[in-house]
Structure 1
């Protein structure tokens, strides 16, 4: 099937990539900016990155806010927002992975909004203006360093929502693979799976004759498959730099241009995080196999294509390709059921469905192919 492909694409983020490129940061910062340095749990103070940042920021007007949580929550971010307003910050430097970067995007938009900032996340109000921001990436997974999308949680209501705007695109991103050198294995494995599913959800739909987009997606997926197989090499520069670029390319926008996309795995996975606090990457490895088995008829052609071009297994039937993905996740010690993640809740399926229903009628997947009944079967499969 060939379909007319149309899109607009503009990626304004300047990427500074390579080992040792953290040294380039000084030349990227606005000279007279009042900078907020935003970071997460403090690992940058243990691995030497914070010291390098302090040296680079010497002579600038800057202060800092640490403690952005995984799955960044407004309850924490609003403390940083108060600091931004009180100290009149006009530039945010986000140092971390997707959670810190997404948190910075929320703060950038909220700083120019007079109402309840959750309005921006819940799409009750548009992002009309935003502070400029830059990124030093220390965890490769989400690709948030080069797009205008953020995922933000509100703990009080168990919400985890996506919002986006071109105004939230970082001005620059420093991708120095040396910053990955001290990450725990669990975070690296999460990153491989997160990036793999990002690429999959822009690829595993149905053929539309997009040769370039398919080829780019397959290149990213093949790279991530190899990185999973070579996980014991994760401390080598070759592994780290390929991981950092593969994760960026998985969600930089180019592989999804003008093609059908399916973000149902992410939508359901976010509910698992909201309910049970499961790492984002681990929710994806739980949901995706069950979802693909439910939608195998619609996705059969692309699953066969994936088997041949990503897994080097021509002639594989779709179910065999799904099993190869499961094996890849297990190789990384990632869960593929809720029980694997240590959740023993007999009512889990009902709770997941209740939270999904809260946003209205359930229609997920490309062209809304997954109605409530099909989603319920997916949920029951990984909860069993």
Structure 2
């Protein structure tokens, strides 16, 4: 196991009715900007529940943060926050709303062009404090300090990470997920699954705790993901799913182990150019990525085959084939396609995707930084 430092200051308020507790988590007298996306938090009554819990605070609202939050929209929120002297942000929604709120928090006090935070990795020296009320388990953004933002002008989808951008607290009420459409539930399962895979399917470093932890989370998703679709009002199923998605990317399973993230980088370009949901891109790219890079991931793929899928018979190559096939079948069982052709995307789209990777400096990806454009081409071609 490699040396590591682990720090996560986010306070989790888990369980039904925990929105009622948020007032004590926010400084008295704060001017609070509530950020959210579409109308679901309004129609389900979640927004009313939040505002009722914050009686006595000066509240403002900003709606319209997209499923892939755009810089253009987020800068409108930044302008509002600066104008109204906001000193606390509260994201109410899924990972995209929380990601967008992280950017808003960093951009409000930033001196210069806030796009530099993403495009030039400009240093974030301060950020407005924020919390979150999670309504869609998927990204883990409710308990980490990373975010992804898209700029429509240029089709740029870029990630950033900063220790100042951990939520102060996050409310995880599983009952808030009961009304999610099946597509969003399935996407959340896939998103969490691939987050775990990117930290687990690399190469062995004798990190037994992280390996067993990751395997347990994957098994939970395999068990509970289909149940969440078939039993949408089962609180315990949704609770296990929500907590798994949070633990998938809060830093614990990635502490002291190599990490990949090439699947995410190739997926980002598919979203930017073709508008696929983030999880849809991951379901398409991961099986192809594992196949193309099976030699360097061989030992962990065999461990994955045995411990996660129970594949013990046959020679090693057969078991790796079966493990990748099981992964693909699991995504498909959730009604998330694993081929670009299912979205009407063919090989003719690949040159533009590679050009985007090159423009964004994504030319040495993966745990060994050896996934170059030639290998990315192989992955895209196999994904068609």
TM-score when normalising by structure 2: 0.96
- Paired with 1:369 and 1:225, the residues of 2 have a C-alpha distance of 30
Cα RMSD for the two superposed structures: 1.2
**Paired residues for 1:1-40 under 5 Å:** 4-40=1-37
Shifted more, 270-279 versus 26-35: the winner is 26-35
**1:361 offset after TM fit, Å?**
6.3
**1:206 offset after TM fit, Å?**
0.9
Shifted more, 284-293 versus 312-321: the winner is 312-321
- Paired with 1:22 and 1:149, the residues of 2 have a C-alpha distance of 23
1:281-335 per-residue CA deviation (whole Å, 9 max, x = no partner) reads 0100000011100001111211111122112222461111000001101100101
Contact persistence 2:11–2:170 (CA under 8 A): yes
Query: Which residue of 2 is the match for residue 250 of structure 1?
Result: 248
Query: Which residue of 2 is the match for residue 351 of structure 1?
Result: 352
Q: Which of residues 329, 335, 338 in structure 1 aligns to 2:337?
A: 335
SS in structure 1 of the partner of residue 131 of structure 2: strand
- Paired with 2:104 and 2:309, the residues of 1 have a C-alpha distance of 41
SS in structure 2 of the partner of residue 347 of structure 1: helix
Structure 1 unaligned blocks of 5 or more:
none
- Paired with 1:101 and 1:59, the residues of 2 have a C-alpha distance of 24
Contact persistence 2:19–2:53 (CA under 8 A): no
Query: Which residue of 2 is the match for residue 371 of structure 1?
Result: 372
- Paired with 1:361 and 1:102, the residues of 2 have a C-alpha distance of 21
Query: Which residue of 2 is the match for residue 171 of structure 1?
Result: 168
1:78-133 per-residue CA deviation (whole Å, 9 max, x = no partner) reads 11111001100010000111110011110101011121100111234100000000
Residue-pair matches, total: 379
1:41-80 per-residue CA deviation (whole Å, 9 max, x = no partner) reads 1211111111111211221111100000011001101111
SS in structure 1 of the partner of residue 336 of structure 2: coil
Residues 261, 361 of structure 1: alpha-carbon distance in 2 compared, 3 angstrom cutoff: closer
**1:229 offset after TM fit, Å?**
3.6
**Paired residues for 1:149-228 under 5 Å:** 149-228=146-225
**1:344 offset after TM fit, Å?**
3.8
TM-score when normalising by structure 1: 0.96
- Paired with 1:174 and 1:54, the residues of 2 have a C-alpha distance of 14
Q: Which of residues 50, 59, 62 in structure 1 aligns to 2:56?
A: 59
- Paired with 1:228 and 1:125, the residues of 2 have a C-alpha distance of 38
Q: Which of residues 80, 97, 114 in structure 2 aligns to 1:100?
A: 97
Query: Which residue of 1 is the match for residue 109 of structure 2?
Result: 112
Contact persistence 1:123–1:163 (CA under 8 A): no
**Paired residues for 1:231-270 under 5 Å:** 231-270=229-268
- Paired with 2:226 and 2:76, the residues of 1 have a C-alpha distance of 42
**1:350 offset after TM fit, Å?**
1.1
- Paired with 2:362 and 2:222, the residues of 1 have a C-alpha distance of 35
- Paired with 1:250 and 1:324, the residues of 2 have a C-alpha distance of 20
**1:203 offset after TM fit, Å?**
0.1
Query: Which residue of 1 is the match for residue 42 of structure 2?
Result: 45
Structure 2 unaligned blocks of 5 or more:
none
Do residues 88 (structure 1) and 85 (structure 2) align?
A: yes
- Paired with 1:184 and 1:362, the residues of 2 have a C-alpha distance of 36
Q: Which runs of 4+ in 1 moved over 3 A?
A: none
- Paired with 1:361 and 1:10, the residues of 2 have a C-alpha distance of 28
Residues 234, 309 of structure 1: alpha-carbon distance in 2 compared, 3 angstrom cutoff: farther
- Paired with 2:243 and 2:215, the residues of 1 have a C-alpha distance of 14
**1:345 offset after TM fit, Å?**
4.8
Do residues 322 (structure 1) and 320 (structure 2) align?
A: no
Contact persistence 2:311–2:319 (CA under 8 A): no
